[in-house]
Amino acid sequence: MLPPPWLVRSARHLWHWQWLQLMNGLGPADAQGNYRRPPAAFAEALALPDDAGVADAHVVIVGRSCPWAHRAWLVWALRRLQATVALVVVEPDPRAGRWRFGEPFEGCSTLAELYGRCGAPPGSRATVPVLYDRRRRQVVVGESARLIELLNRWPAGRDFDLDPPGQRAATAAWRERLQTGVNDGVYRCGFARSQAAYESAEAELFATLDAVEQALAASGAGAGEPGWLSGPHPSLADVQLFPTLIRLELVYAPLFGVSRRPLWQFPALWHWRSRFHQLPGVADTCCPEAWRRDYFGALFPLHPSGIVPAGPALATLVGSCPMAAADAGSQPRRPE
């Protein structure tokens, strides 16, 4: 038997109120319902430590599902920092809503404990990624945008500058635009608390993706020519874009509602994503099962059932573009 309408109405009312309370735990919003990312606790990077490059003196702490941590992991992998910076992977604890260490790290079982011990202001969020200094027992930086700049200056196993001198201005401009429009943009869609907040974030997200698509297509980088977002060499702008785009079909489109245009409708971006994925070390940083499990399993207010949907295999997202293949099929073939 169907429940009476008054019961449905009251349950909806109560559920909406509870949803708003739970959303407060996920992230703050302004009066219009726009998600506002809280500031990081250790936002400013300390100077490059004198012992940068000494084996095991520093640790970068990441979580597999976190796109902000993914950028740090990418720089670590691309520059081959394995010999000098240890990588520690924390796991989410969905019940407690925080990160925990697999085995005690510096005597701490959770990231929150480590933050507290390093003097994070009370009430601040214990977020990944973190660059930690083992000798000084201090966080060097807890803000990913600064952290990747620092790791890019770290003495490396591979001479690979991700802020190449000839393309610095373009890299900086893209990084700023991507941070708001794309990296935070998908979260502003998913964590929006009103239709208007969602629509404005969604419009900015797809406008930014359109701009990237045009830039890549114009440079030839999307069509098989060598070249990257800010110029001929891969840069921190590419590093910033990849973690968001590689999660698009797997997580953000179904969970955050960013499904207006699937990525195969952006052929240059699709091709760019496949090429970036092929760079040495990048594939090892991609953990699609953990992404789906953590997002669908841990973001209770957005997905209360916790059911993890089946998703496309990663291999189908980093192969040739279905759109390009369709175009090629519809073109008259050139004589051999």
Determine, following the binding rule CB under 6 A, whether residue 144 of this chain makes contact with ligand GSH: yes
Determine, following the binding rule CB under 6 A, whether residue 244 of this chain makes contact with ligand GSH: no
Contact 109, 90 (CB under 8 A): no
Determine, following the binding rule CB under 6 A, whether residue 285 of this chain makes contact with ligand GSH: no
Determine, following the binding rule CB under 6 A, whether residue 128 of this chain makes contact with ligand GSH: yes
Cβ nearer to ligand GSH, comparing 35 with 270: 35
Contact 266, 175 (CB under 8 A): no
Q: Work out the end-to-end distance of the chain between its first and last CA atoms, rounded to an integer number of angstroms.
A: 69
Cβ nearer to ligand GSH, comparing 98 with 264: 98
Cβ nearer to ligand GSH, comparing 69 with 268: 69
Tell me the closest approach of the beta carbon of residue 174 to ligand GSH, in angstroms.
17
User: How far, in Å, are 66, 156, 231, 269, 272 from residue 275 at the CA level?
Assistant: 22, 23, 15, 10, 5
Tell me the closest approach of the beta carbon of residue 40 to ligand GSH, in angstroms.
4
Tell me the closest approach of the beta carbon of residue 96 to ligand GSH, in angstroms.
10
Piece of the chain touching ligand GSH by CB under 6 A; list 3-11, 80-88, 127-135, 222-230 = 127-135
Strand order in the sheet with 98-105: 108-110, 98-105, 85-93, 58-63, 130-133, 138-141
Q: Dihedral of CA 235/317/278/144: which sign?
A: positive
Report the DSSP pairing between strands 85-93 and 108-110.
Answer: unpaired
Cβ nearer to ligand GSH, comparing 133 with 143: 143
DSSP state of 230: T
Using CB under 6 A, pick the residue from 23, 29, 40, 60 that binds ligand GSH.
40
Contact 147, 208 (CB under 8 A): no
Determine, following the binding rule CB under 6 A, whether residue 296 of this chain makes contact with ligand GSH: no
- Scanning the chain, the segments in alpha helix (DSSP H) are 5-26, 67-78, 111-117, 144-153, 168-178, 184-190, 195-219, 236-246, 253-256, 267-278, 288-298, 314-317, 322-330
Determine, following the binding rule CB under 6 A, whether residue 294 of this chain makes contact with ligand GSH: no
Site string for ligand GSH, 81-120 (x = CB under 6 A): -----------------x----------------------
User: How far, in Å, are 213, 243, 271 from residue 264 at the CA level?
Assistant: 11, 17, 9
Determine, following the binding rule CB under 6 A, whether residue 143 of this chain makes contact with ligand GSH: yes
Determine, following the binding rule CB under 6 A, whether residue 66 of this chain makes contact with ligand GSH: yes
Cβ nearer to ligand GSH, comparing 98 with 100: 98
Determine, following the binding rule CB under 6 A, whether residue 127 of this chain makes contact with ligand GSH: yes
Determine, following the binding rule CB under 6 A, whether residue 41 of this chain makes contact with ligand GSH: no
Piece of the chain touching ligand GSH by CB under 6 A; list 122-130, 224-232, 245-253, 327-335 = 122-130
Cβ nearer to ligand GSH, comparing 98 with 134: 98
Piece of the chain touching ligand GSH by CB under 6 A; list 126-134, 148-156, 218-226, 253-261 = 126-134
3-state secondary structure of 145: helix
Q: Describe the crossing of helices 236-246 and 144-153 by its angle, rounded to 10 degrees.
A: 130
Bridge partners for 88 per DSSP: 61
Contact 230, 219 (CB under 8 A): no
Residue 307: exposed, middle, or buried by beta-carbon count in 10 A (0-12, 13-18, 19+)?
exposed
Cβ nearer to ligand GSH, comparing 129 with 164: 129
Q: Which residues form the interface with ligand GSH (CB under 6 A)? A: 40, 66, 68, 98, 125-129, 143-144
